[in-house]
Amino acid sequence: MELLGEIGQWSGFVLWALLLIVASLFVYLGLGGSFIVLGLAVIWAVVTGFATVTWQWVLVLLGLALLGELLEFLIGTFYVAQKGATKPGVVLAFVGGLLGTFVGNSLLPVVGAVLGSFVGAFGGAVLGEYQRYQKLEPSLRVGGYAFLGRVLAMVIKHIIALVMVFLILRLTKP
């Protein structure tokens, strides 16, 4: 009987790990995967009386989630500037990414938001650069950097979410 209890415990842990990993993937859908992971940790903490996931750990996880948001903003916005975009290109890449998110989400909920942010950042950067230089080729290159910046920002944000998952799993391991 003891063996069955242990198998059940580890089975539950595997399901918990899968839930956290899947939640972290929501970063790519623009749905705040880091904050979903944080929310799951808070639920665990409340249910277990903060036995393993303490308030201090909740604050650490919150800090990581906020760091992910900050890095996503900074990388998504300033990567294109580092690659030679002008101020209008940087600003319009940022604005285009925001507008693209809203328009994309209204056309195709969830997935459209992500695609729209990529297309909007690309289009905004191209527009900003084209207005300045009146040449398409360099404008498209900067638009490509804006697109890559958004992708890089999401990947880094997901890595931070996975660090959060790792910490939670270490704290909640049976």
Give the CA count within 13 Å in the CB-facing half-sphere of 102: 5
Rounded CA gap, 154 and 125, in Å? Answer: 18
Phi, psi of 32 (to 5 degrees): 65, 50
Q: Output the pLDDT for position 1.
A: 62
More confident residue, 56 or 90: 56
Most confident segment among 40-49, 98-107, 115-124: 40-49
pLDDT at 133: 83
- Locate 94 and state its tokens: 């940022």
Q: Residue 166 has what pLDDT?
A: 98
Q: How many domains does the chain have?
A: 1
Structural domain for 32, as ranges: 2-172
C-alpha torsion 45→50→52→55, nearest 10: 90
**What's the full length of the chain, in residues?**
174
Mean pLDDT of the chain: 90
Residue type, 132: R
Q: What percent of the chain has pLDDT over 90?
A: 51
| 167 and 57 Cβ atoms separated by less than 8 Å | yes
